[in-house]
A and B are shown apart, each in its own frame.
Chain A
Amino acid sequence: MSEILVLVDHVDGVVRKTTTELLTMARRLGEPYAVFVGSGYEQARDTLATYGAQKVYLLEQPELTDHLVAPKAEALAQLAERATPAAIMLASGAEGKEIAGRLAIKLASGVLTDVVDVQPGDGTVVATQAVFAGNYTVRSRVTHGTPILTVKPNSATPEPAPAQPVEEKTDVTVSDRARAARVVERSPRTQTGRPELTEAAIVVSGGRGVGSADNFAVVEGLADALGGAVGASRAAVDAGWYPHAYQVGQTGKTVSPQLYLAAGISGAIQHRAGMQTSKTIAVVNKDPEAPIFEMADFGVVGDLHAVLPQATEEVNRRKG
């Protein structure tokens, strides 16, 4: 079986769901070999084993994480030259895409980003992408070098396949040029206790109709009752009602949850670009002409300040 390198996305050893999705998808193509960079492996070990990593390359040199992107790209390039994998897979966040970009040049290999599905085909990998705001489904192949794929969150349901990975501590050479961009300060984002926006199965988003920062409490209330993440439209973010990190849309985050609930959002094209691939879309808006109703599987024409609290109460009642 061929080796598929999977870069582990983690925070101090807490493996993100995107990685268990990657490991699950990698098993369709070959044997997943996890690449763990940084500290905290003790915490990550069980998760990587549960999801079928046959081997873990452990790269613990601090210079790999003290600098931006470039050293990780060098590390993967060196592993790839040693191991000749059939594909290299990364999560489709900002960092994953940038590592993929540098790696593509280093390995003279094609790169596909925001992949939502992979299948083996004709000695290479056939990748599916949703493009133009999800209006087209495209099947592509890497035709040169080692296929480098970045995979969008929520593209697969993580399926356990317990393995006993061989652990290999690996040292790589980090060049001076890769150390050129130095991380001088790092402050972890405040934890809200809610799921990560891009990974969440349920997202409840608020827009202009929410009316104020304080009123976002009704959006948060329903999100919490449903166990979902909170999002915001650009209008709400620009008004200063919610932090930019939660903006859904073309210039914010792209989400693809099982359920997207848009409250007080009219559905400008830029917003739709960020959520159009959501499986189920529910809408609450007092304007029956709002374009977002065209996308709704279920819509309520009404005031979100009445509908959302009632919905929250009803969810909590049903949960007992």
Chain B
Amino acid sequence: MNIVVCVKYVPDATAERGFDAGDRTVDRSGVPGLLSELDEYAVEAALKLADAGDAEVTVLTVGPADAADALKKSLQMGAGKAVHVLDDAIHGSDSVGTSLVLAEAVRKLGAEQPVDLVLCGMASTDGSMSVIPAMLAERLDLPQVTFASELEVGDGTVRIRRDGEAATETVEASLPAVVSVTDQANEPRYPSFKGIMAAKKKPVQTWSLADLGVDAGAVGLAAAWTAVDSFEARPPRQKGTVVTDEGDGGQRLVAYLAEQRFV
């Protein structure tokens, strides 16, 4: 089985994140980046399938030079090889542009060896739009089986459990398919020392837009179908009142809630 895992390099959520005042894209300078936490579950899901049988796991990312770090982490966890789509023209792409580049990269990988499964995290931890798996499925003309909290693959079929707002669903599709997993799907492994050493020897290919046959004019900020007009930092919350419970903490809490008309 040939599995491609799409991963994203994101600014660390614990750091101060902001926007570039010039082009109003996310300002990555001075903010440490890392493999999106939610993508670790997708990498783990792929590795579990590889552990259970014969599967090749390729991690794929679209992003700036630093994004190689996200690939490195995935290789250290156990992925077999990595592809980095790196091209200045991609800067500022929206989800539509990003999904185009990812889809073309999956196609190129598929031309070498047919892809059975495209795995994604449920959302990125920066934009958290959750639309990329759906867009990829639409572009690749593949079934989409998303938000899997349990995942089973066998006999050319993928079967998942999905916990929706109103119901729990079991969904089935035949392979190839695009699957996204939630943080309930598994417990991502930590890279072992052996894994870290082995990762150094694993192949990382770097592709440009030209390698994918994607027109540079179809991606990037200028080609985005959405535009940011303005952004403003929210004023920090005013520190409120803090009292210490002296046997009447519950009553004082409710007095405040009543004042605010919640009671």
Q: B189: CB under 8 A from chain A?
A: no
CA distance in complex: A94, B122 (Å): 9
Q: Which residues of A contact B162 (CB under 8 A)?
A: 68
What range describes how many residues of A lie at the interface?
35 or more
Q: Which of A95, A98, A184, A258 has the most CB of B within 10 A?
A: A98
Q: Which residues of A contact B127 (CB under 8 A)?
A: 131
Task: Report the nearest B residue to A111, measured CB to CB.
Answer: B131
Is B228 a contact of A112 with CB atoms below 8 Å? Answer: no
Q: Give A76-103 as 1s and 0s: 1 = Cβ < 8 Å from B's Cβ atoms.
A: 0000000000000000011101111110
Is A135 a contact of B17 with CB atoms below 8 Å? Answer: yes
Q: Which residues of A contact B130 (CB under 8 A)?
A: 94, 97-98, 101, 113
Is B173 a contact of A181 with CB atoms below 8 Å? Answer: yes
Is B13 a contact of A259 with CB atoms below 8 Å? Answer: no
List residues 260-300 of chain A with CB under 8 A from any CB of chain B.
269-270, 273, 280-282, 284, 288, 293-300
Is B245 a contact of A11 with CB atoms below 8 Å? Answer: no
CA distance in complex: A258, B94 (Å): 32
Given A298-B253, A300-B243, verify A104-B131 contact (CB < 8 Å): yes
Q: Give B168-198 as 1s and 0s: 1 = Cβ < 8 Å from A's Cβ atoms.
A: 1111111001000011100000000000000
Closest beta carbon of chain B to A104's beta carbon, Å: 6
CA distance in complex: A100, B141 (Å): 16
Closest beta carbon of chain B to A180's beta carbon, Å: 3
Stretch at the interface among B55-63, B85-93, B219-227: B219-227
Which among A104, A185, A297 is the interface contact of B240 at CB below 8 angstroms? Answer: A297
Is B134 a contact of A310 with CB atoms below 8 Å? Answer: no
Q: Give A19-46 as 1s and 0s: 1 = Cβ < 8 Å from B's Cβ atoms.
A: 0000000000000000000000000000
Q: Which residues of B contact A94 (CB under 8 A)?
A: 130, 146-147, 164-165
Q: A167: CB under 8 A from chain B?
A: no
Q: A61: CB under 8 A from chain B?
A: no
Given A105-B135, A111-B226, verify A136-B165 contact (CB < 8 Å): no
Closest beta carbon of chain A to B131's beta carbon, Å: 3
Which among A100, A145, A294, A315 is the interface contact of B131 at CB below 8 angstroms? Answer: A100
Q: B82: CB under 8 A from chain A?
A: no
Which among B145, B168, B172 is the interface contact of A186 at CB below 8 angstroms? Answer: B168
Given A104-B225, A181-B177, verify A114-B13 contact (CB < 8 Å): no
CA distance in complex: A312, B133 (Å): 44
Task: Report the nearest A residue to B182, measured CB to CB.
Answer: A251
Is B138 a contact of A105 with CB atoms below 8 Å? Answer: yes
Which among B129, B169, B237 is the interface contact of A185 at CB below 8 angstroms? Answer: B169
Please report the number of residue pairs spanning A and B whose Cβ atoms sit closer than 8 angstroms: 271
Given A137-B232, A143-B226, A307-B245, verify A181-B144 contact (CB < 8 Å): yes
List residues 116-164 of chain B with CB under 8 A from any CB of chain A.
125-135, 137-139, 141-147, 149, 159, 162-164
Is A186 a contact of B263 with CB atoms below 8 Å? Answer: no
Q: Which residues of A contact B232 (CB under 8 A)?
A: 136-137
Q: Which residues of A contact B172 (CB under 8 A)?
A: 181-182, 184
Is A310 a contact of B231 with CB atoms below 8 Å? Answer: no
CA distance in complex: A270, B128 (Å): 13
Given A114-B128, A184-B170, A314-B251, verify A143-B163 contact (CB < 8 Å): no
Q: B229: CB under 8 A from chain A?
A: yes
Q: Which residues of B contact A (CB under 8 A)?
A: 13-14, 17-19, 37-38, 94-96, 99, 125-135, 137-139, 141-147, 149, 159, 162-174, 177, 182-184, 224-234, 237, 239-245, 247-254, 256-258, 260, 262-263
Told that A106-B138, A181-B144, A297-B240 touch, could you supply 12 new A-B pairs with CB distance under 8 A? Answer: A104-B96, A104-B131, A105-B135, A135-B233, A181-B172, A181-B177, A182-B171, A189-B164, A226-B262, A251-B183, A310-B251, A311-B251
Q: Which residues of A contact B (CB under 8 A)?
A: 11, 68-70, 73, 93-95, 97-102, 104-106, 108-114, 126, 130-145, 177, 180-189, 196, 198, 202, 226, 244-245, 250-251, 258-259, 269-270, 273, 280-282, 284, 288, 293-303, 306-315, 318-319
